[in-house]
Structure 1
Amino acid sequence: MIPVAEARARILAGVVPLPAEQVALTEALGRVLAEDVAARLTHPPLAVSAMDGWAVRTADIQALPVELRRIGSAPAGQPFPGTLGPGDAVRIFTGGALPDGADTVVVQEDCDDLGESVRVKDGSGPGRWVRPAGQDFAAGVVGFKAGRRLGVRDLSLAAAMNVPWLKVRRRPRVAILATGDEIVMPGDTLAPGQIVSSNALAIAALVKTLGGEPLDLGIARDEATALSQALDGARGADLLVTCGGASVGEHDLVRKVLGDRGLDLGFWKIAMRPGKPLMFGRLDGMPVLGLPGNPVSSLVCALLFLRPLLLALLGLQAEPRFIRAVAGTDLPANDGREDYLRATLAPGPDGMPVATPFPKQDSGMLSRLAWADGLVLRARHAPAAPAGTVVEVLPLDDV
């Protein structure tokens, strides 16, 4: 058995981000930028008003109140064509271009509209309520760096920068194959001894959440020919994930069938709990990750190994990000396998969260994983630790 960190390092070794593709801005939500994005215009393109009011010259409002001539208006998108001279004022609205000659805006609440003129009762110096040209960004300024996953606010800024198309990383195509005579799809009739398959659906959901494209290869029975035929569906994928069948039982045929097809086995079995029977290798250059058949082990291993691999293919930070918390209960000494305890997280009195593992950590209890907020990491051979000890936790809020 190899340590978790070594297993992850082997999986990530040599991984390069997938090629870029161009997508419309409307299709870019959640995608990862493959190149920097620069503004194609200056915003605002010229000085504009930040409020509804009157565009005036500061020199004309030194002594208040003062009455000024109304010479026009400047709604947004309809600039005033002339120039303000001494004693002139232009009615202006939010977003309207500041007329030539004006250097400040007086809000309408501080004025009396007299029709042909305006009485200014209050005001201030140059630049008041004026948004200067380029206040937000200038043409050519980089708004986003490559490697950013685009969110709602990013799309808004890209649109404002007049960028209709973006270069993003291609979505990783992940072939997912569940194996086992004992599993059936949710909703199917269960024969004696059968169970409902949850692994492939959970892995597909994780792949989709991370920005990948899951390819469901179905359920392969525990028979070499059927398994080999199912694996044909992985052609063209960037990654193959199998669920179950990689252990040492006589019905665990995944390793053998993949080996017959030329699998270059990197490792098999890691020193962790849950998830000891994890397999990794390459088949004609394609990474192959064999997850355990146990649903809890499968999903925990997916978080620790599949997630980093997918992020690396997208050009993102791949290492899992742990947070610090305090143990909400006493922790027993650990053995030679790195342990990941399903736990709840609650606010602590000093700002650090309190992580409380469930009393029973049986890997057959999928409900505990669904209810958990994070996984408390217990290092190999960690000594017993009392409640209040600072621990590392892998949050589950993004899955």
Structure 2
Amino acid sequence: MIPVSEAERLILETVTLLPEESVALADACGRVLREQLVADRDFPPFDRVAMDGIAIRFEDFQNGIRNFRITGLQAAGSPQQQLIGKGTCLEVMTGAILPEGANVVVRYEDVSLADGHATVELDEVKFRQNIHGQASDRPAGAVLAEPGMKISPAEIGVAATVGKAHIRVSAKPKVAVISSGDELVPVEQVPLPHQIRRSNVHALSAALRQWGVEVSCHHVVDEKEQIRNTLGALLESNHALVLSGGVSMGKLDYLPEVLEELGVEKVFHRIAQRPGKPFWFGRKKGAAVVFALPGNPASSFMCLHRYFQPWLQRCLGQKAETPVYAQLSSDFTFKPPLTYFLQVKLAFDPAGVLTAIPYKGGGSGDLANLVDADAFLELPAGETDFNKGEAYRVWKYRYG
């Protein structure tokens, strides 16, 4: 049995960067960027009018002129016009290029219009007020987004602005999720008294799809030959296998034995943690990495978020996320010498501190308790008393 830190290290040693692919801009949100997004021109590309109003010369106002003759309209998207003559102005719209010769924009709210003239009703104006200066946000050639970023709507807007109709991103990994056990029946089937519906495979695959993975779902019964045939094919056609159940010490837990028969090298089996102690991890050269998770719902769910997700992010070339910590809202005691992943509900206290409210539930088989909680709080091994106000690492599984 190995500690959590060692399990994490061994898993991350198997990371292989996924290849790149080009996708249409409309399909890029949520993918991991694999190229720089560079400003192809200044941001903004011209002195931009920031308010609807009139454009004047600062010098005219300083010389006492308050009534300006309107000589035209500078609309957004129209070619640049020019101020002609002393004491003139142009009406301007937000987003328009600033007229040549103008260096102040006075908003309509500070102007009265009558008989083709505009009277400024201010005692003072500032040079270049209400003007969004050319290149004031970013100059041409500036890097706007770096590889490794997860593309959000913000990056989509930037990519569109620089003319990227297609973007290079990390290819989606293919992952097979396999449940095992004679006691499991399909969701649509009414289980007999000794059976339960398959739930882990759906919870795990939903999380993987949320992370942008191409997922296929499978089920094997407790029969060696079927397990061998199914896993043998899936090992060669996927980047990773995520299995649920069949990895403990039971007489029908065949998965570790079959995996090793198929040439999968066992990296470790059993982590000093609760839940999720029987976790089996292995790899086959030139084939899939295998995450064989325990069958209890809270165990498999926790292990997926604590171990698989960081591994996936590295494979995608995604920048490491900043760890999140939360303070315990009450004292908690856990005596076994194991790392404990406590289910918690997250909330901000009146001071803005992220707090973790324990929702211990009924153990690793308590699927319903995951609905009440938001995250797992990682309580380190070697301690037994965890005090209110102490901060620990959080592994969130609820977003938005």
Considering the TM-score relative to the shorter chain, is it more than 0.5?
yes
Give me the whole-angstrom Cα distance separating, in 2, the residues matched to 1:101 and 1:32. 45
Q: Please, which moves more after superposition, 62-71 or 38-47? A: 62-71
Report the 3-state secondary structure (helix = DSSP H, G, I; strand = E; otherwise coil) of the residue aligned with 2:227. Answer: helix
Report the 3-state secondary structure (helix = DSSP H, G, I; strand = E; otherwise coil) of the residue aligned with 1:235. Answer: helix
Give me the whole-angstrom Cα distance separating, in 1, the residues matched to 2:337 and 2:251. 27
Deviation (angstroms), 1:259: 1.5
Give me the whole-angstrom Cα distance separating, in 2, the residues matched to 1:117 and 1:28. 50
Amino acid at match of 2:315: L
Query: Does the 8 Å CA contact 1:64/1:120 hold for their aligned counterparts?
Result: no
Give me the whole-angstrom Cα distance separating, in 2, the residues matched to 1:240 and 1:15. 14
Q: Please, which moves more after superposition, 288-297 or 95-104? A: 95-104
Partner of 1:25: 25
Query: Does the 8 Å CA contact 1:174/1:240 hold for their aligned counterparts?
Result: yes
What is the alpha-carbon root mean square deviation over aligned residues?
2.2
Partner of 2:142: 141
Instruction: Report the TM-score when normalising by structure 2.
Output: 0.91
Amino acid at match of 1:211: G
Change (3 A) 1:316 1:144: same
Report the 3-state secondary structure (helix = DSSP H, G, I; strand = E; otherwise coil) of the residue aligned with 2:333. Answer: coil
Change (3 A) 1:58 1:350: closer
Amino acid at match of 1:22: S
Residues 66-102 of structure 1: CA deviation (Å, up to 9, x unaligned): 3333322211111344453322221211122212111
Residues 159-190 of structure 1: CA deviation (Å, up to 9, x unaligned): 22332221111112111111111111212121
Deviation (angstroms), 1:361: 4.2
Change (3 A) 1:106 1:348: closer
Amino acid at match of 1:175: A
Report the 3-state secondary structure (helix = DSSP H, G, I; strand = E; otherwise coil) of the residue aligned with 1:42. Answer: coil
Change (3 A) 1:148 1:306: same
Q: Please, which moves more after superposition, 136-145 or 56-65? A: 56-65
Query: Does the 8 Å CA contact 1:39/1:141 hold for their aligned counterparts?
Result: yes
Instruction: Report the TM-score when normalising by structure 1.
Output: 0.92
Deviation (angstroms), 1:319: 7.7
Change (3 A) 1:389 1:127: closer
Deviation (angstroms), 1:126: 2.4
Give me the whole-angstrom Cα distance separating, in 2, the residues matched to 1:118 and 1:395. 60
Partner of 1:394: 394
Query: Does the 8 Å CA contact 2:81/2:99 hold for their aligned counterparts?
Result: yes
Amino acid at match of 1:290: A
1:162 equivalent to 2:163? Answer: yes
Partner of 2:335: 334
Give me the whole-angstrom Cα distance separating, in 2, the residues matched to 1:112 and 1:350. 48
Change (3 A) 1:56 1:265: same
Deviation (angstroms), 1:202: 1.1
Report how many aligned residue pairs link the two structures.
Answer: 396
Aligned residues with identical type, % of pairs: 32
Partner of 1:45: 45
Gaps of 5+ in 2: none
1:151 equivalent to 2:152? Answer: yes
Q: Please, which moves more after superposition, 293-302 or 135-144? A: 135-144
Partner of 2:326: 324
Q: Please, which moves more after superposition, 153-162 or 165-174? A: 153-162
Amino acid at match of 1:85: G
Query: Does the 8 Å CA contact 1:64/1:121 hold for their aligned counterparts?
Result: no
Partner of 1:100: 100
Give me the whole-angstrom Cα distance separating, in 1, the residues matched to 2:144 and 2:109. 36
Change (3 A) 1:165 1:2: same
Change (3 A) 1:128 1:353: closer
Deviation (angstroms), 1:370: 2.1
Change (3 A) 1:67 1:11: same
Change (3 A) 1:301 1:320: farther
Give me the whole-angstrom Cα distance separating, in 2, the residues matched to 1:74 and 1:103. 14
Partner of 2:382: 381
Matches within 5 A, 1:107-122: 107-122=107-122
Query: Does the 8 Å CA contact 1:333/1:381 hold for their aligned counterparts?
Result: no
Give me the whole-angstrom Cα distance separating, in 2, the residues matched to 1:7 and 1:308. 12
Partner of 2:280: 279
Matches within 5 A, 1:205-224: 205-216=206-217, 218-224=218-224
The partner residue of 2:304 within 299, 302, 306 is 302
Deviation (angstroms), 1:125: 3.5
Query: Does the 8 Å CA contact 1:20/1:170 hold for their aligned counterparts?
Result: yes
Query: Does the 8 Å CA contact 1:334/1:380 hold for their aligned counterparts?
Result: no
